[in-house]
């Protein structure tokens, strides 16, 4: 129930947050805030013609989520609007370039509904709930609200819409929870890419897995992995050979402070990247929950 229900940085199919379909009492609200740091590589756009990139981003995320009832099962709706500072250097056609910019990133709205195994219950009845097998689905829409300048090679926003569908399953075995998810993300065209060009991108497909260990008093830890592929781009009708095929590994730790507050630590790193879309990420988030009679 203390899982982070929305992610703050626009990493799209690379997100590897666990417990996305964990059950919670109907009417529960979550407020999420904290810093996110990425470094190395180019975490946003493999189509940008840069080499030797050395970029760093420092972001702050503010998110809200609420647990709802859909039929007999629980559901969640969440919104995240992060802010980011980006700076670094790279080579563009052999010449050194640098960039320092800050602003809002692309906002995300996610709706997730559990299909089986996570009944809609109030706080009183939730105390008796024990997870067995849970299956759910979600839809995440990313809006082009982020800072964007078509005359610059690197931006915080992507200047396009995207839509990601996901199907996930979770199985509890004693104090362990095993999770598998599969996703597909589709993108609209960026009609104002660098130099006023039109940039198209193929769908990105991902598979994700988590091994979670629950401890007493709501504490848990997870080992996370994701593989994603696709996303080749076409610029002004010219197809680019920039198919993505990447592996990422990470870990997550959540520790409750009291019945309404918890701290979450998350870190991940690329272990294989066919393109330059590779980076390290560290996030620390504070989570506050209220409502449902808590």
Residue that has been written with the tokens 């979550």 in this structure: 30
Distances in whole angstroms, Cα of residue 111 to Cα of each of 51, 107, 118, 185, 232: 37, 14, 15, 15, 27
Measured from the Cβ of residue 1, the count of other Cβ atoms closer than 10 Å reads 18
pLDDT of residue 5: 33
DSSP 8-state symbol, 41: B
Phi and psi (nearest 5°) for 126?
-65, -25
DSSP 8-state symbol, 160: S
Q: Closest Cα partner for 31 from 57, 6, 55? A: 6
pLDDT of residue 241: 80
Alpha-carbon span 150 to 154, nearest angstrom: 9
Tell me the average confidence (pLDDT) per consecutive run of 10 residues in the chain, 294 residues long: 34 67 96 85 58 81 95 96 88 84 94 97 93 97 94 88 97 96 96 92 95 94 94 91 88 95 92 70 93 86
Q: CATH says 12-291 is which class?
A: mainly beta
pLDDT of residue 51: 73
Domain spans of the chain, in order of start: 12-291
pLDDT of residue 17: 83
Alpha-carbon span 189 to 261, nearest angstrom: 41
Q: Two tokens at 135?
A: 């299956």
Q: Edge to edge, what strands does the sheet with 233-235 contain?
A: 190-193, 197-201, 233-235, 238-239
pLDDT of residue 194: 87
Alpha helices in the chain (DSSP H): 123-126
Residue that has been written with the tokens 């493999």 in this structure: 46
Distances in whole angstroms, Cα of residue 87 to Cα of each of 38, 40, 52, 167, 276: 11, 11, 14, 35, 17
Instruction: Answer for the pair 101, 84: CB distance below 8 angstroms, yes or no.
Output: no
- Predicted TM-score (pTM) of the model is 0.88
Distances in whole angstroms, Cα of residue 206 to Cα of each of 12, 70, 183, 244, 261: 10, 26, 5, 11, 32
């Amino acid at each position: 129930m203390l899982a982070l229900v929305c992610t703050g940085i626009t990493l799209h199919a690379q997100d590897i947050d666990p417990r996305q379909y964990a059950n919670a009492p109907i009417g529960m609200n979550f407020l999420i805030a904290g810093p996110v740091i990425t470094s190395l590589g180019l975490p946003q756009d493999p189509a940008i013609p840069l080499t030797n990139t050395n970029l760093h981003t420092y972001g702050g995320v503010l998110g809200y989520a609420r647990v709802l009832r859909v039929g007999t099962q629980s559901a969640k709706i969440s919104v995240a609007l992060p802010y980011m500072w980006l700076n670094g250097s790279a080579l563009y056609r052999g010449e050194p370039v640098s960039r320092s910019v800050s602003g809002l990133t692309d906002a995300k709205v996610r709706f997730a509904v559990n299909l089986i195994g996570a009944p809609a219950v109030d706080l009183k009845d939730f105390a008796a709930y024990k997870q067995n097998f849970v299956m759910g689905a979600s839809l995440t829409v990313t809006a082009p609200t982020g800072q964007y300048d078509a005359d610059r090679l690197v931006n915080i926003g992507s200047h396009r819409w995207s839509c990601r569908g996901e199907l996930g399953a979770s199985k509890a075995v004693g104090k362990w929870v095993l999770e598998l998810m599969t996703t597909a993300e589709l993108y609209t065209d960026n009609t104002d890419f660098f130099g006023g060009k039109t940039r198209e991108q193929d769908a990105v497909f991902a598979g994700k897995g988590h091994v979670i260990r629950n401890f007493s008093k709501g504490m848990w830890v997870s080992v996370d992995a994701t593989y994603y592929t696709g996303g080749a781009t076409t610029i002004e009708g010219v197809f680019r050979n920039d198919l993505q095929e990447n592996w990422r590994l990470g870990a997550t730790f959540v520790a409750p402070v009291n019945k309404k507050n918890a701290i979450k630590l998350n870190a991940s790193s690329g272990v294989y990247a066919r393109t330059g879309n590779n980076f390290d990420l560290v996030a620390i988030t504070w989570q506050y929950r209220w409502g449902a009679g808590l």
